[in-house]
Amino acid sequence: MSILRFSHLGICVSNMERSLHFYRDLLGFRYVSELNVAGEPANTLLQLQDVKLHAAYLERDGTRIELLHFASPATEGEDASRPFNRSGFTHLSLRVEGLEALLKELAQAGVRVLEDTNVYNPQFRAGAVLITDPDGALIELVEAPGDPSAPPGS
């Protein structure tokens, strides 16, 4: 038995249309498909009761995300980012070109740009800044020379 491949990363969202607009229209993820599930076997798999779930799949650069909106049980949590030192998922990272222009465009579209995280590393000739999705999940935008699939400076 072996693991065949990466499948997707799930992101719970409080408003599907708002999140689709963000990931698809602003970050360039391509819509793939969607599904609605209710009851079993979702209740057992997700360890929840009375599941009514709408999922949308989007893809970019071979990476698939699954946006999960729960009609039941209701989405929990607040629109707050997780600290980087909290165990578990911390952020998505995207390599970009023209970081400053992109930040202006995203801010005009209502995206929360965490201006106090905007940094530049002269050693790697790389800049980075954090933005949040509509529910507060952190997204790192990195501009650096070289192979976009490799970490800056490698």
pLDDT profile of the chain (154 residues), mean per 10: 86 95 97 96 92 96 95 81 82 94 96 95 91 94 85 73
At residue 23, the pLDDT reads: 98
Q: Where does 78-154 sit in CATH, by number?
A: 3.10.180.10
Task: Assign a CATH topology to domain 9-72.
Answer: 2,3-Dihydroxybiphenyl 1,2-Dioxygenase; domain 1 (3.10.180)
How does the average pLDDT of the chain come out, rounded? Answer: 91
- Domain residue extents for the chain: 9-72, 78-154
What would the two tokens of residue 9 be? 């990363």
The pTM of the full predicted model, rounded to 2 decimals, is: 0.89
64 - beta bridge partners?
Answer: 59
Query: What is the C-alpha separation between 60 and 119, in angstroms, rounded?
Result: 25
Q: Which residues of 92-120 are buried (b: 16+ CB within 10 A; e: fewer)?
A: bebbbeebeebbeebeeeebebeeeeeee
Query: What is the C-alpha separation between 26 and 138, in angstroms, rounded?
Result: 15
9-72 matches 78-154 in fold = yes
Would you tell me how many other CB atoms lie within 10 Å of the CB of residue 73?
13
At residue 82, the pLDDT reads: 76
